Amino acid sequence: MIKYLLSTFCSFCLSISLMGQQVPKWGQWTAWGEQPGGTYQNPIIPSDYSDIDCIRVGEDYYAISSTFQFSPGMTLLHSKDLVNWEICTNIVEDLTQIGTELNWNRMNRYARGIWAGTLRYHNGRFYLFFGTPDEGYFMTSASRAEGPWEPLTTLLSESGWDDCTALWDEDGKAYFVGTCFADGYKTYLFDMASDGRSIDRKSARLLNSGNGREANKLLKVDGWYYLIFSEHKSELGRYVMAKRARKITGPYKEEKQLALPSREAMEPNQGGIVLGKDNRWYFFTHHGSGDWSGRIVSLLPVTWIDNWPIIGEVLPEKIGTMKWNAPMPVIEQEKLCIQRSDDFDQPQLSVQWQWNYQPRAEKFSLTERPGWLRLKAFAPLEGNQLLKAGNTLTQRTFRTPMNCVTIKVDVSQMTDGQKAGLCHMSSKSSALGIVQKNGKRYLEYRYNDHSTLGQELIQSYIWLQSRWGLDGKSQYYYSLNGDTFHPFGEPYQMVWGNYRGDRIGIYTFNDQKEEGWIDVDYLHYQY
C-alpha cells in the first residue's frame, strides 16, 4: 500500500509539473521536441512526415514516412530516444521501378505515388512493404537500414489498395495485411512467403471493413493479435481504433476505440506502436488533417488497460486523448536532428533532398564543379509551369517560430528563355528567381504562372532567401553581396495540397531551348 501511495504521489507531482509547461494551441508552439528537465513537448518533428510506422531494433528506432511523387522515395528516419530524429536514408532510389508516370517526362502522379507502408525487422534483415493507389503493393529489404536496399519486388499488381502491414508469427509463418479502398475499405489478411517476396492472393481473409478504415498495423502482444487502424467519421474526424483476436486469422470480434477524435490537435491517428528501451509503450504518429505544414509528428505514451493499448492521456472513461507534454523515454547524450542545410561538398546529395518526380540524371551534377550543385535547364512539360518542370530539388519545410533559407547562385551561364531560383511548392507555388531575356537577366517573382519583373542583374552571383514563421507566410529577399537583403514580391501564404505540406526548392527550366545552367554554392537553413 505504501509503495502504491508513493507511486501515485510521484505521478501526481509529475502531472502537476507537466501541467505547468506550455500546452500550445495548434500551430502556435514556441517550443517542440526535447525540453530541459527530462521532458519533451509535442510535436517532436514539426514538419511533413506523413504515414508513419516505427520499430525498434536493439538500441535504435527506425521509422518510415510516405513520399508520394518525390524521389528518392520512402524516407527512413533514425532515433536513439524516440524524440530526437535524423534522416537515415530514402529507400526507393528509382521511382520508375514503380511506374513510368513517376518519371520527369510524365509527372502524372501528384497526390499519388508512394503511400503508407510498414517497416519490419526479421531474422537480421529490414523489410519495407508499401503500396501505391495505381500500381499495387511492393516490397524491398536490406541487411542494414542505411542500405543498399534491393530492387523492388511486386507483391500485387492491382489498383485501389493502400496502407499495408506485415507480421512474422512465432511459428515462422508470415502474413500480409492490405486494405482495398476501392471496395469499401475492406481489409484482408494474406499468407505471405517467409522471405516476404510474395503473397497468396487466394488466401485472403476479411478482417475489417468500414468507410475510411485504413492505416493498418498488425502486432502481437501477450498472446493477443491486434489490428490497429485509423477510422474516419465525417462528423468527428479521424481517430485510432483496434480489433483483437487470439488467433491471427481471427475472428476479430472485439473492437475498441483507443483515442478520442482531436480536431483541435489536427487528428493524431496514423502511426506505429513500439515498445521502448524503457519497457514502456509509445505511439509514434502523424497529425492527419493537413494544413500548410503538412502532417507533422508527435509521440504519445501508450497505457495498457484491460489488454488494450490506450493512446495518449488516459481519461476516466478508459480512452485516450492528445498529450502535449511527457517525460523523455530515455536521455541520450548525442542529440540527433533532421538534416536541412547543404554545402554541396559531397559527390552525392544530402539525405534531406528529394526531386519532384524521378529526375533527368544527366541534367544535374555535383562533380562538374566541385563544391557546387549544377542544375541544367530543359523545357517543362507545360510552358512556364513550375509544377511541370523536371529536376526541381526540394526538401520539407518546418513550422517553427523562425525559418530562414538562403541559397547562393552563380547565374553567369544562364541563356535566353531560362528561369531559375528559390521556390515554395505544394499544389500551388511561388518563387523568387532570375529570368534571362535578350541577353539580359532580371529579378523575377512568381506566383503560380504569374510573374513580376524586377531590376536588371549584371553580376554573376546572387543570394536568394525566404523567411517565414509559425503562420507560414513567406517573404522573399535578394542580395547582391550576401550581406544586405532586400524584400521583393508579395508575401506568400504556404498551402496544403496533394496530401503534402509546403516544400522549399531550387529550380531551373528553359521554355525556348535545352541550354543554360546555374551553379548553387549552398542552401543554408536557419531555424
Q: Let me know: does 125 contact 150? Beta carbons within 8 Å.
A: no
User: 319: Cβ–Cβ under 8 A, 6 or more apart, which residues?
Assistant: 257, 258, 259, 260, 310
Say if 156 falls within a structural domain: yes
Say if 388 falls within a structural domain: yes
Question: Is 316 buried (19+), middle (13-18) or exposed (0-12) by CB count in 10 A?
Answer: exposed
Say if 5 falls within a structural domain: no
- Measure the CA–CA gap between 129 and 150, rounded to whole angstroms: 12
Say if 345 falls within a structural domain: no
CATH at residue 446: 2.60.120.200
Question: For residue 108, what pLDDT is reported?
Answer: 95
Question: Is 333 buried (19+), middle (13-18) or exposed (0-12) by CB count in 10 A?
Answer: exposed
Note whether 121 and 172 are same-domain residues: yes
- Structurally, how many domains does the chain consist of? 2
User: Alpha carbon of 385 to those of 417, 419, 425, 507: distances in Å?
Assistant: 13, 11, 12, 11
Question: For residue 14, what pLDDT is reported?
Answer: 35
User: 404: Cβ–Cβ under 8 A, 6 or more apart, which residues?
Assistant: 465, 466, 467, 525, 526, 527
Say if 342 falls within a structural domain: no
Question: For residue 474, what pLDDT is reported?
Answer: 98
Q: Let me know: does 347 contact 366? Beta carbons within 8 Å.
A: yes
Q: Let me know: does 21 contact 33? Beta carbons within 8 Å.
A: no
Q: Roughly how many angstroms between the first and final C-alpha of the chain, as a whole number?
A: 49
Residue tagged 547562393 (cell numbers): 408
Note whether 238 and 306 are same-domain residues: yes
Question: For residue 10, what pLDDT is reported?
Answer: 34
Note whether 293 and 367 are same-domain residues: no
Percentages of the chain per state (helix, strand, coil), in multiples of 5: 5, 50, 45
Cis peptide before 301 (omega within 30 of 0): no
Question: For residue 403, what pLDDT is reported?
Answer: 98
Q: Let me know: does 443 contact 488? Beta carbons within 8 Å.
A: yes
Question: For residue 23, what pLDDT is reported?
Answer: 62
CATH at residue 46: 2.115.10.20
Say if 74 falls within a structural domain: yes
Domain that holds residue 286: 39-327
Note whether 309 and 360 are same-domain residues: no
Total residue length of the chain: 527
Note whether 368 and 261 are same-domain residues: no
Question: For residue 345, what pLDDT is reported?
Answer: 98
- Measure the CA–CA gap between 227 and 295, rounded to whole angstroms: 23
Say if 33 falls within a structural domain: no
User: Alpha carbon of 328 to those of 56, 265, 296: distances in Å?
Assistant: 16, 21, 19
Residues of the chain with pLDDT under 50: 1-21
Note whether 113 and 186 are same-domain residues: yes
pTM value?
0.94
Note whether 154 and 263 are same-domain residues: yes
* Cα-based torsion angle of the residue sequence 222, 224, 227, 231 in order, rounded to the nearest 10 degrees: -90
- What is the DSSP track for 226-255? EEEEEEEETTTEEEEEEEEESSTT----EE
pLDDT digits (tens, 9 = 90+) for 140-168: 999 999 999 999 999 999 999 999 999 99
